[in-house]
Every structure is written in structure tokens, then in C-alpha cells.
């Protein structure tokens, strides 16, 4: 049985449907990242899961209990969860008391409070700051305190709403390290929202892509990046090469896709005539100055339109009759002298092409 099961959850605020028929299961001790752009409905969904708000439709089951049945059950479930807001909340007291206040409200003995809070302060590297006013903390430190206050009571579920939003890179790294420590030391189920796909990759067991109020896709981060379910997901996760076309032939699931003057071969079970988009990862494209002998089914001559150095890699933009972005090593780019206007052959395998159905305008 999943710890949390959400069934056909919808939320309407005014004239706008902010969430539409959300169904998702979260297993005990799982880390789930809800990724999506600003306004996608991530915070709204977290507030519903945290039983802060009531949905317009649908149900939330916690450990098999229907949380809509009684106010008493909802209160009991809420006590088993902790919610950290995007903008950290700190009280007008010192760091130690900020973290300890939840335990005091629960009537925990003073010695136990001291032991738990001291342990958490060491984890967040704020032990020497325990007597400092929390109102004087930096944004990253305040978020550390907010997370520490949430986890010190050892909740079964920790809800994190954009935990590193608006933080500098150093503070972001510290918060992520704290979340990893929580994952390692506690048997806590974590549901976090983020607009950062890379953060979801670094921290979560599974990601759910939330776009326009709907869960478009769930799975590990590789599925979202390598096998996006539709054009919207592909755009959001940053697939740079998305080319529209129509299936011209299909022989034993080896398809030829007509992309207006060019033909791309791929592996797909879509039938002839299907309107599709092909997704090609830049790192799966090989560049050469002449046509190479290869088992790869796709090879196109193109002109370099732009080259941008990205550390040890170089991003090459080409015009092959369709725009194609390639990612190669800096050394390879220098050896090939891939400057603007240079002709090159771009090659990629049929197995390196992901085909998605294209939604036609109604």
C-alpha cells in the first residue's frame, strides 16, 4: 500500500482550474520531485497533500485513510507531516528556540528537546549560531532553520516547496546537502517542488512533470529527459532538437520520417501517416568533416551557424535543412575547426531518436 495516494484531484480557484485530475502514488520513504514552471500548480498540489487546503474534487488517502472523511482524521494526518514554504518562516526568537518550538508545543521533555535540537544544529552547521536571533540570518541560513524545525519532530512526510528558490549557488548547495542528509539519516517520505530539472535529478527517486495543472509524466529523471511523453514535456526538460515530421514508411518498426525535404530514420511503432516529432539529444550527434562509414542510419551535411564553448564541451548549432544542435568535446571542435560557415556531416543512430506523437491543432 502506498503511503500517499492521490485520486482524480482537481482544484479550481475562481474561474481557473489550477489542478486537473491529478492521480499519483507516493511510496513510503520515497523522494518525489514535482517539477514544472512557475504557475504550473506545484505549490497548490503540495498544500492539498499537506491538508492545508481542501480540493474541489478528488481524494487523498494517507496510509489507506481517506482524509476527506473526518476533521479528526485530517488533524491526525497533518501531525504526521511537515511543510516548509518557499519563503522560509522564522520566529522572532533565537535559532535554538526556532527549531525547538515544535517539540515544545508537543510537550516533549526538555532533555529530549536539547538532545534532538543539538543534533539537528550540528547537521545544519549552525550549532555556534544557536543563540543568534533568527531574524538576522541570511536567506540560506533561514531556510536551513525552517527545514531543521520541520525535521526535528521526525515527520513521516516532509513537504518542501521550492526549497532553494532565490538562493545563491553556495546556499543552494548547502540546502541540497541537508536534504541528502535527511534522506540518509531519516526514514522520511519527501515530496518537493522545483522548477529545476537538474535538482530533481540530483535528489529524487522519481519525478512528476507538472504542466498546466496536469501531471504529464512520472518516472525516474532519465525517462523524462530521454523519453518525454509529449512535446510539452520535451520542451520543459530542455530537449534541444525537436523536429516535426510525418511517418512515411514503417518496416518492422524501423520508420522513415519525412521532415519536409529530409528523411530521418528511427525506431517506432507509429503507423504511416502519423504526425510526429523526433527528439534527438545533442550528445548523440557525431560531427565530421566528411561522410563517415558507420552503422548509423542518419547522416546529413550541414553548415555550422554557431559554436559556443561550455567548459570542456562545445555546443555546435548547424543547419542541415533543419536546425540541429550537437554537443562535442572542446578538443574535437578545435581539431575539426568547427567555426561559423564550416561544412560538416552530422550523424546519429536510429536508436538515438525518440519519437513522440504530435498533437494537431483543433
Question: What span, in angstroms and rounded, lies between the C-alpha atoms of 265 and 26?
Answer: 38
C-alpha 214/C-alpha 232 separation (Å) is 11
Q: Are 353 and 264 in contact (CB under 8 A)?
A: yes
The pLDDT, as a whole number, for residue 225 is 77
Do residues 236 and 200 make contact, with C-beta atoms less than 8 angstroms apart?
Answer: no
CA distance 13 to 5: 23
Asked if 207 and 219 count as a contact pair (C-beta separation under 8 A), the reply is yes
Please give the pLDDT value at position 362.
Answer: 43
Work out the average pLDDT over 205-231: 89
Q: What is the tens place of the pLDDT at every residue in 26-39?
A: 999 999 999 999 88
Signed CA dihedral, 301, 302, 303, 306: sign only: negative
pLDDT of residue 223: 79
Regarding predicted confidence, which is higher, 362 or 6? 6
Under the banding of pLDDT at 50, 70 and 90, the label for residue 82 is very high
Mean pLDDT of all residues in 127-150: 94
Note the pLDDT tens digit of each residue in 12-27.
988 889 999 999 999 9
What is the per-residue pLDDT for 159?
97
Interstrand relation of 31-35 and 189-194 (parallel, antiparallel or unpaired): parallel
Distance of CA 289 to the CA centre of its chain: 37
Q: What is the mean pLDDT of the chain?
A: 92
* Cell digits of residue 215: 501531471
Q: What is the mean pLDDT of residues 90-119?
A: 93
**Residue 88: pLDDT over 90:** no
Is the pLDDT confidence value at 116 over 90? yes
Radius of gyration of the chain (CA): 25
Residue 75 has φ and ψ, to the nearest 5°, of -65, -40
Q: What whole-number distance in Å separates Cα of residue 132 and Cα of residue 121?
A: 12
How many CA atoms are closer than 13 Å to the CA of 13, on its beta-carbon side?
Answer: 10
Q: pLDDT digits over 295-326, tens only?
A: 888 999 999 999 999 999 999 999 999 999 99
Give the confidence band of 360 by pLDDT, cuts at 50, 70, 90.
low
What would the pLDDT profile of 269-302 be if each residue is shown by its tens digit? 999 999 999 999 999 999 999 887 878 889 999 9
Q: DSSP letters of 126-172?
A: -GGGTTSBGGGS-HHHHHHHHHHHHHTT--SEEEEESTTTT--HHHH
Question: Which tens digit of pLDDT belongs to each residue from 240-274?
Answer: 999 999 999 999 999 999 998 899 999 999 999 99
Judge whether residue 81 has pLDDT over 70: yes
User: In angstroms, rounded to a whole number, what is the distance separating the alpha carbons of residues 228 and 247?
Assistant: 19
Percent of the chain with pLDDT over 70: 99
Give residue 358's pLDDT band: very low, low, confident or very high (50, 70, 90): confident
Task: Kindly list the distances between the CA atom of residue 270 and the CA atoms of 112, 229, 248, 252, in Å, as whole numbers in the listed order.
Answer: 62, 14, 10, 11
Amino acid at each position: 500500500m502506498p503511503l500517499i495516494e492521490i485520486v482524480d484531484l482537481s482544484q479550481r480557484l475562481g474561474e481557473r482550474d489550477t489542478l486537473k485530475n491529478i492521480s499519483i502514488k507516493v511510496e513510503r520513504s520515497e523522494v518525489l520531485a514535482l517539477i514544472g514552471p512557475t504557475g504550473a500548480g506545484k505549490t497548490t498540489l503540495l498544500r492539498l497533500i499537506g491538508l492545508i487546503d481542501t480540493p474541489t474534487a478528488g481524494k487523498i488517502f494517507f496510509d489507506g485513510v481517506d482524509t476527506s472523511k473526518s476533521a479528526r482524521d485530517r488533524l491526525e494526518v497533518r501531525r504526521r507531516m511537515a511543510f516548509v514554504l518557499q519563503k522560509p518562516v522564522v520566529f522572532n526568537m533565537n535559532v535554538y528556540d526556532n527549531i525547538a518550538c515544535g517539540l515544545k508545543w508537543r510537550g516533549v521533555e526538555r532533555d529530549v528537546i536539547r538532545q534532538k535540537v543539538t543534533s539537528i544544529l550540528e547537521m545544519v552547521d549552525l550549532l555556534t549560531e544557536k543563540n543568534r536571533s533568527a531574524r538576522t540570518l541570511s536567506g540560506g541560513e533561514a531556510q536551513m532553520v525552517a527545514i531543521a524545525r520541520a525535521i526535528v519532530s521526525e515527520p513521516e512526510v516532509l513537504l518542501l516547496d521550492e526549497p532553494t528558490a532565490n538562493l545563491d549557488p553556495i546556499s543552494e548547495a548547502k540546502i541540497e546537502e541537508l536534504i541528502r542528509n535527511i534522506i540518509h539519516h531519516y526514514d522520511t517520505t519527501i515530496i518537493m517542488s522545483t522548477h529545476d530539472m537538474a535538482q530533481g535529478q540530483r535528489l529524487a527517486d522519481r519525478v512528476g512533470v507538472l504542466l498546466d495543472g496536469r501531471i504529464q509524466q512520472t518516472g525516474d529523471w532519465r525517462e523524462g529527459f530521454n523519453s518525454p511523453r509529449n512535446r510539452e514535456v520535451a520542451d520543459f526538460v530542455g530537449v534541444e532538437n525537436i523536429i516535426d515530421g510525418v511517418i512515411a514508411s514503417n518496416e518492422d518498426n524501423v520508420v522513415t520520417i519525412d521532415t519536409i525535404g529530409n528523411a530521418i530514420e528511427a525506431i517506432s511503432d507509429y503507423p504511416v501517416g502519423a504526425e510526429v516529432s523526433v527528439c534527438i539529444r545533442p550528445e548523440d550527434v557525431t560531427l565530421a568533416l566528411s561522410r563517415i562509414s558507420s552503422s548509423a542510419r542518419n547522416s546529413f551535411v550541414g553548415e555550422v551557424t554557431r559554436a559556443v564553448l561550455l567548459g570542456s564541451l562545445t555546443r555546435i548549432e548547424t543547419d542541415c535543412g533543419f536546425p540541429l544542435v550537437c554537443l562535442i568535446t572542446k578538443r574535437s571542435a578545435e581539431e575539426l575547426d568547427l567555426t561559423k560557415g564550416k561544412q560538416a556531416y552530422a550523424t546519429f543512430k536510429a536508436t538515438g531518436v525518440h519519437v513522440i506523437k504530435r498533437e494537431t491543432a483543433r
